[in-house]
Each structure stands twice: as structure tokens, then as C-alpha cells.
């Protein structure tokens, strides 16, 4: 009888153990906005950006891209608006070639619970009307913006196409 009671107590100790609270690598987190660039004159052709700097309003961090046709940028998780300055040819010594466009990205946010170890992630939904607004600029380099996916749930798909 004592052996059965001791066995039950030992088994109960193992059954009551919990998995470690470690957020495993590869667990989906708050997604970035995925933007792909296309040739304005040939809509089906991807186009690489040259010396593109992207700076979020109020930030000193500069995201630098060169020779790529797809980028990802983080949206703010504390408010429903992110403003970015997109500067093409940012490192060109001839400042007349440098061109800045300002994009205002409007969205709603939803916090989604992942697990106790990982906490929450934020997913975004671009506004149906005015999801991305380009500041008025007669010399703009961005010619057209097309929203592909309004729901930004992951980084596995293109959310926005920019034609230049």
C-alpha cells in the first residue's frame, strides 16, 4: 500500500510540472509592413530602389535599402498612424537628384494573445479609405501606391506596391 501511495505522489509531481515559459524562435510576432517596388512605365516589372532611406516621424533611426525591390518597415504599435519619409538617392552627392516623399499610413490595431511566454503581438488593418496618403509634392518620385492586403497579419505576403 505504501508503494502505491508513494508512486501516486511521485507521478503527481511530474503531472503538475509545466512547460518552461520560453517564447520559441519562429513564433510569429508583430508583423512589419511589406512593400514591393515596381516600374511605373511597365506595371508588371519589379524595380530595385537605389539608396533609399526610410525614416519614421520622430525617429533618428534610418532604415537604408539599396538594390532591393522589396522592403519591410515597422508600424507604430501605440497609435493608429505612422508617418515615413522615403528618400530616394539619399547618398547622392548631387542634392538636386535626392528626392523625398512623405507617406502617412493610417490603420487600426488589434493586440492578439500568443501565449504566456510570448505575450501579445499587434496586427494592423489599413484603413479602407486613406490607408496610405502621400503628401502633396510636385516633384514626387512615387507615382502610385496600391494596397494589396489591408490586413497586416504576417510578413509572408506583399501588403503594398509602390510604382516609381
pLDDT at 69: 98
Distance CA 45, CA 41 (A): 9
Other beta carbons less than 10 A from residue 54's beta carbon: 20
pLDDT at 82: 97
pLDDT one digit per residue (tens) for the chain, 164 residues? 656 554 555 555 555 555 567 899 989 899 999 999 999 999 899 999 999 999 999 999 999 999 999 999 999 999 999 999 999 988 766 666 778 999 999 999 999 999 999 999 999 999 999 899 988 888 899 999 999 999 999 999 999 999 99
Record the pTM. Answer: 0.83
Q: Which residues contact 138 (CB under 8 A, 6 or more apart)?
A: none
133 forms beta bridges with: 104
119 forms beta bridges with: 115
pLDDT at 21: 74
The H-or-E segment that residue 9 falls in is helix 2-15
pLDDT at 11: 54
Reduced to 3 states (helix: H, G, I; strand: E, B; else coil), residue 10 is helix
Q: Which three cell numbers stand for residue 66?
A: 539599396
Distance CA 157, CA 164 (A): 20
pLDDT at 105: 97
pLDDT at 5: 53
| DSSP secondary structure of 30-44 | SPPEEEEEE-SSSTT
Amino acid at each position: 500500500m505504501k508503494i502505491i501511495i508513494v508512486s501516486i505522489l511521485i507521478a503527481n509531481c511530474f503531472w503538475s510540472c509545466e512547460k518552461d515559459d520560453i517564447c520559441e524562435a519562429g513564433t510569429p510576432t508583430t508583423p512589419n509592413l511589406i512593400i514591393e517596388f515596381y516600374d511605373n512605365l511597365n506595371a508588371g516589372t519589379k524595380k530595385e530602389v537605389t539608396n533609399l532611406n526610410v525614416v519614421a516621424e520622430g525617429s533618428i533611426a534610418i532604415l537604408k535599402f539599396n538594390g532591393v525591390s522589396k522592403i519591410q518597415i515597422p508600424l507604430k504599435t501605440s497609435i493608429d498612424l505612422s508617418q515615413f519619409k522615403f528618400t530616394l538617392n539619399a547618398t547622392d552627392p548631387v542634392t538636386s537628384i535626392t528626392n523625398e516623399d512623405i507617406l502617412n499610413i493610417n490603420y487600426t490595431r488589434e493586440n492578439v494573445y500568443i501565449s504566456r511566454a510570448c505575450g501579445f503581438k499587434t496586427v494592423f488593418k489599413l484603413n479602407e479609405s486613406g490607408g496610405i496618403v502621400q503628401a502633396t509634392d510636385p516633384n514626387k518620385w512615387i507615382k502610385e501606391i496600391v494596397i494589396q492586403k489591408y490586413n497586416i497579419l504576417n510578413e509572408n505576403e506583399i501588403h503594398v506596391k509602390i510604382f516609381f
